Structure 1
Amino acid sequence: MRTLLFLLLFLLLLLLAPSWTLDFRYHSNREMEQYLLRVNASHPDITHLYSIGRSVRGQQLWVLALGVTPHRHTVGIPEFKYVANMHGNEVLGRVLLLHLIDDLVRSFNNNETWAVRLLHSVRIHILPTMNPDGFDSSNTDCVYSQGRYNANGVDLNRNFPDAFAGLKRQQEPTRAVMSWLQSETFVLSANLHGGALVASYPYDNSNGGQELVGGASVTPDDDVFVHLAKVYSFNHASMHRGDECQEGRPFQGGVTNGYHWYPLAGGMQDYNYVWAQCLDVTLEVSCCKFPPAAELPALWSENRKALLAFIQQVHLGVKGRVLDGSGTPVQNAVVEVRGRRNMCPFRTDRHGEYYRLLLPGKYSFTVTYLGHEVLTETLSVPHGPDDYSAMRHDFLLRRVAVTTGAAPQNATSSICNQTPQEPACGGAAGHTVAARITALSLLVALRWLID
């Protein structure tokens, strides 16, 4: 008994004072899982590990959340996410996100000001691999596509519902991400790819409507998307030059509209924006899809500043709550900005919150909610990222004297009602998995100690 207690005490001390380091190499899916479990066990105050679902072959899609309240949403704290490796053979993103996790937890524990301010002001979710099955079957070729698809031979970045091309049958990881977007109100995100060096922004697709302008498919928030893409590009060591991969035509400033580069139906970034109110950018972070392991330290150095600067942009614009006539926060109030007519209007979440990423300037907001007068207010929005907070503003509604029906609202396209058919991949299922992780972390650490 005494030996067992000694072993447990030693293990606890080991977990509380981690001396391990994350090396620069390509970790297997099992090694990645063990690393995430170990980080979660060692830093329970700022990390929360959960699964949003499984791959075709049953591998968990692990997400590590980082923040001072990592287990749950806090009103006023925006949700951010990074996703990598949705194409199984585009692998640098896996490495970058693992080292980003390592950097964040170490810097926070060392009380570095930037890390403390960041993790106090945003909850960061990191999904290092969306396609673990594809990674298992990939080779190390720089160009060709072995391992690109999932175990069913499907390109996951062509598998999401498309506002211009309609619905299709979703794969397990796609459904998992769609359900994930329902369970959290993400404000900003990026997905990491390889094979080019450019930041690409929505839309990826078009049907030749008013969104098609000069060969680009332009969103109502195009100015914000261009800014977001340039934040990454110009904080990257060389992406902003626009011609590092010698692709034939340079990307001006290292950014591009997705459709202008090449049309893509069923892409994840368009789905994030149209259906989830989350501004998402695609980051092509390496000319070679599977860079030699010897280049990984330099590639991390080239991307580190950009990865952190992009997260900080979650503090652009304005945020707050919509309150009804009795002062209670309300869900599904429509919050619109004049001149930005989104396909699916931005609505308040279950906490009554709204987040609108906007560049500094003066904007007219219109807020509508059933049984209340339409509210219009003009706000002067400052630049928030440097202060780690967007402008805060609550909208207080007034009840109409006699309710004759719904408050006037913009016509909503039928596409806004299209939701995942199988939401069981995330949500409560994910929390059930998360509840078991403390025990799993202990077992993994014990096995690591014994090995």
Structure 2
Amino acid sequence: MHGNEVLGRVLMLHLIDDLVRGFRNNETESVQLLTNTRIHILPTMNPDGFDESDTDCQYSTGRFNHNGIDLNRNFPDAFAGLRRKQQINEEEREAEVRAVIGWLKTESFVLSANLHGGALVASYPYDNSNGGSENVGGASISPDDDVFIHLAKTYSSNHATMHLGDRCKDSRPFLNGITNGYEWYPLIGGMQDYNYVWSQCLELTLEVSCCKFPPVSQLPALWTENRKSLLAYIQQVHLGVKGRVFDGSGVPVQNAVVEVKGRENMCPFRTDRHGEYYRLLLPGSYSFTVTYPGHEVLTETLTIPYGPDQYSAMKHDFLLRQITTTTTRSPANVTVASTTLSCNESFEVESAGVGTRSTWVGVGVGLGLVAAALQSLID
């Protein structure tokens, strides 16, 4: 995403090689991940910036694309509203951003990571805030804050030094090597919040190196430092519960709303065109409400175990009952501040994948974007 933050490109290429070699050699970890997970990797989102970048550790030459735009400030922002004219036409956004948005509409991504450089920390949503109820103690807290903290700690704790929180001399210390994005610094138009709010894909921003353009001699050691973290993070796509929603005739339905009590997302999580839903949740008991036009509202309580060790989230299907009354709950648009979010837009396009939403292991704040989209298969 930021062309001068280059370690992410290298890590993603090494990740591809590591997974393929491991699979060919019948190594358990690689076989389990590739058998049960759909992984999508985008090694670079900003090739123009990479071509223009220099090898300086901190300077920003190459951060922007050829048009001089910071791609991590160019996505629609749920909090910005009309203040930054976020309701602009999609074609007015940068081509790289349009490509990622289009990709998110064709795959059911569940988990992702956007790789950057210049710091050593795992940052999680939200990156922006309205100063409303989400703003707590200087942080901007999402409904899935507990899951995001778990994901960030998974990466940090498996990293050789990130968990220490103070490895970069030019950066502030981070407790446990993680931070809420907004608490670090507000960011408008970032991909992390966009993926979470509009695409139901829980994403972290991973700052993976103090130096944005590390010397070639350091790359093998930097891969070693990040390898365990990347694999452990990918495995977390198997948290929580997944399944399908069936209508009264036993047909899987698209755009059924699947909500978890106490987690009122700006854009309610919906089923994809295969009738599939995915919710990354920590182990525990949760009350689910499923809503679909022409059907009774269904409420069920599920007790969810820890799935990553088994490389599969808990599987549970919801079976709806048809009603004849004319009054139905229609989950349409959700209004936040002055902005109306088009929440169902992402699932109007046919999805190419039959599986879990994806995890990106991506490159973001300072590297080429590497998106490793992970999808835990339903079957």
Q: If the TM-score is normalised by the length of the shorter chain, which range does it land in? A: 0.7 to 0.9
- State the Cα distance separating 1:250 from its structure 2 match: 1.1
Output the TM-score relative to the length of structure 2. 0.87
2:248 equivalent to 1:325: yes
Cα deviations across residues 224-267 of structure 1 (Å, max 9, x unaligned)?
00000000000000000000002453100000000000000000
- Residue 244 of structure 1: SS of its match in structure 2? coil
Corresponding residue for residue 127 of structure 2? 204
2:76 equivalent to 1:161: yes
> Which residue, 404, 425, 428 being the options, matches 2:326?
404
Superposition pairs for residues 37-436 of structure 1, below 5 Å? Answer: 86-166=1-81, 167=86, 168=88, 169-247=92-170, 249-400=172-323, 402-407=324-329, 409=331, 412-413=334-335, 414-417=340-343
- State the Cα distance separating 1:311 from its structure 2 match: 0.2
Identity of aligned residues (%): 74
- Residue 354 of structure 1: SS of its match in structure 2? strand
CA distance in structure 1 between the partners assigned to 2:333 and 2:343 by the alignment: 12
- State the Cα distance separating 1:411 from its structure 2 match: 6.5
CA distance in structure 2 between the partners assigned to 1:408 and 1:374 by the alignment: 11
CA RMSD of aligned residues (A): 1.6
- Residue 223 of structure 1: SS of its match in structure 2? helix
- Residue 41 of structure 2: SS of its match in structure 1? strand
CA distance in structure 2 between the partners assigned to 1:351 and 1:88 by the alignment: 36
- Relative to total residues, which structure has the larger helix share, 1 or 2? 1
Is the contact between residue 191 and residue 283 of structure 1 (CA under 8 Å) also seen in structure 2?
yes
Unaligned runs of 5+ in 2: 353-379
CA distance in structure 2 between the partners assigned to 1:138 and 1:162 by the alignment: 27
Corresponding residue for residue 366 of structure 2? none
Output the TM-score relative to the length of structure 1. 0.73
CA distance in structure 2 between the partners assigned to 1:189 and 1:275 by the alignment: 14
CA distance in structure 1 between the partners assigned to 2:166 and 2:155 by the alignment: 16
Is the contact between residue 119 and residue 171 of structure 2 (CA under 8 Å) also seen in structure 1?
no
Unaligned runs of 5+ in 1: 1-85, 428-451
- Residue 186 of structure 1: SS of its match in structure 2? coil
Letter in 1 for 2:58: V
Cα deviations across residues 39-88 of structure 1 (Å, max 9, x unaligned)?
xxxxxxxxxxxxxxxxxxxxxxxxxxxxxxxxxxxxxxxxxxxxxxx000
Letter in 2 for 1:143: Q
Letter in 2 for 1:94: R
**Based on CA coordinates, which of the two structures has the bigger radius of gyration?**
1
Distance 1:365 1:419, change over 3 A: closer
- State the Cα distance separating 1:207 from its structure 2 match: 1.3
CA distance in structure 2 between the partners assigned to 1:113 and 1:293 by the alignment: 30
Bigger drift between 93-102 and 162-171 goes to 162-171
CA distance in structure 2 between the partners assigned to 1:239 and 1:409 by the alignment: 41
CA distance in structure 1 between the partners assigned to 2:343 and 2:12 by the alignment: 33
Is the contact between residue 332 and residue 343 of structure 2 (CA under 8 Å) also seen in structure 1?
no
Letter in 1 for 2:316: H
Cα deviations across residues 347-380 of structure 1 (Å, max 9, x unaligned)?
0000000000000000000000010000000000
Q: Tell me which stretches of 4 or more aligned residues in structure 1 moved more than 4 Å.
A: 408-411, 417-420
CA distance in structure 2 between the partners assigned to 1:248 and 1:129 by the alignment: 25
CA distance in structure 1 between the partners assigned to 2:162 and 2:332 by the alignment: 40
CA distance in structure 2 between the partners assigned to 1:136 and 1:369 by the alignment: 49
- State the Cα distance separating 1:410 from its structure 2 match: 8.2
- State the Cα distance separating 1:419 from its structure 2 match: 5.2
Letter in 2 for 1:128: P
CA distance in structure 1 between the partners assigned to 2:313 and 2:120 by the alignment: 30
CA distance in structure 2 between the partners assigned to 1:417 and 1:392 by the alignment: 25
- Residue 342 of structure 2: SS of its match in structure 1? helix
Letter in 1 for 2:341: I
Corresponding residue for residue 13 of structure 1? none
Is the contact between residue 287 and residue 302 of structure 2 (CA under 8 Å) also seen in structure 1?
yes
Is the contact between residue 374 and residue 408 of structure 1 (CA under 8 Å) also seen in structure 2?
no
CA distance in structure 1 between the partners assigned to 2:28 and 2:51 by the alignment: 39
